[in-house]
Amino acid sequence: MSLDEDAYLNKEPKEIMAEHGKSFYWASHLFSKERFQDVALLYAFCRYVDDTADETHPSEAKGALEALKREFRAPHHKLLQRVHKCFRQLGIEYRFAEELISGAQFDVDKGEIESQKDLLVYCYKVAGVVGLMMCPVIGVKQEKANSFALDLGIGMQLTNICRDILEDAQNGRCYLPQEELRLRGIERQALAHQGQTPDALQALVSDYLDLADEYYSSGEQGYGFIPFRPRLAIMVAGKVYQAIGHKIRRQGFQVLQGRTYLNRWEKILVTFRSLLGVLRPTFWLKGRHQKALHHHLQGLPGVSA
């Protein structure tokens, strides 16, 4: 498969978000019109990086990502020019975008995730840094918010990984730590076979959804740093993603039977319940970050010591 770069890079960002980011697009209606444009722009860039890795022929993808990393600082495509301008105006660090591209390169190289540390570093690169880039876009002013933004992104990515085990395995990828698969007697090849999910894999998915919930809970502690209206949108987006994990749990962790998603009515219900979160202290207060959650991320850009 080959990505049509010119067609993609000249699309309107909101079109890309509406087509590919249904959960986030749902929550994005809570942003102001001006804020939505920048959020959609950042989403479109992140999606382009992801699709360059996934939809470009493997023999070309690595070179395409290297070229993207170089071009990002002096772009000539419409989308990248707008993203570059947004980064410059809002003071977003270019190295966060480079970490995102590095995560996509890991996918192209079929990198191995051996340990939980490897998994969390991967989640940082492909999702945590999205939270870091999002902070200036939604009006966050205090650097202390970065730790919580990272955690919300990591929680979302852990949910994605648990949801997509079958699809990823069928594409030759596995994001569950190899040492844990060996410890539990789970054959990697078995992850690509649709059907009943073995008990050992159910238990492993349960553990990682629990870990995701820890990162979601930490992310919520940072809501107080976000201006009111975008705070609502981020809260809903986080809860919609987290609800996917909760649905996987209710379905008995049957991740090898197909992809779990929320239907429209489930999203409406989650949104309504989320908005009641304005009544909780975590919506208004600025919490204290649990440093243990970043033990494996020390030294990475944007991670506090």
The pLDDT tens digits of the residues spanning 166-193 come to 999 999 999 999 999 999 999 999 999 9
Model confidence pLDDT, tens digit, residues 149-158: 999 999 999 9
Confidence grade of residue 115 (pLDDT, cut at 50, 70, 90): very high
CA distance 277 to 12: 32
CA distance 24 to 160: 13
Model confidence pLDDT, tens digit, residues 5-41: 666 666 777 777 777 666 666 777 778 888 888 888 9
Helical segments of 221-261, H only: 228-250
Average pLDDT value for the chain: 91
Secondary structure class of 290 (helix, strand, coil): coil
Does residue 303 register a pLDDT over 50?
yes
CA distance 210 to 251: 15
Does residue 145 register a pLDDT over 80?
yes
Tell which wins on pLDDT, 9 or 122: 122
Q: Could you report how far apart the first and last alpha carbons of the chain are, in Å?
A: 42
Tell which wins on pLDDT, 143 or 71: 143
- Residue 267: the pLDDT is 92
Best CA proximity match to 156, nearest among 178, 126, 116, 201: 126
CA distance 156 to 62: 26
The Cα-based distances of 290 to 13, 144, 286 in angstroms read 35, 12, 13
Q: What is the mean pLDDT of residues 191-196?
A: 96
Confidence grade of residue 1 (pLDDT, cut at 50, 70, 90): very low
CATH of 112-305, one of 3.40.1710.10, 1.10.1370.30, 1.10.1740.10, 1.10.600.10: 1.10.600.10
Does residue 159 register a pLDDT over 80?
yes
- Residue 6: the pLDDT is 62
Residues of the chain with CATH 1.10.600.10: 112-305
Does residue 44 register a pLDDT over 70?
yes
- Residue 31: the pLDDT is 84
Contacts 24+ apart (CB under 8 A), 281-287: 282/220, 282/221, 282/223, 282/224, 283/223, 283/224, 283/231, 283/235, 284/223, 284/224, 285/224, 286/144, 286/221, 286/222, 286/224, 286/225, 287/148, 287/220, 287/221, 287/222, 287/224
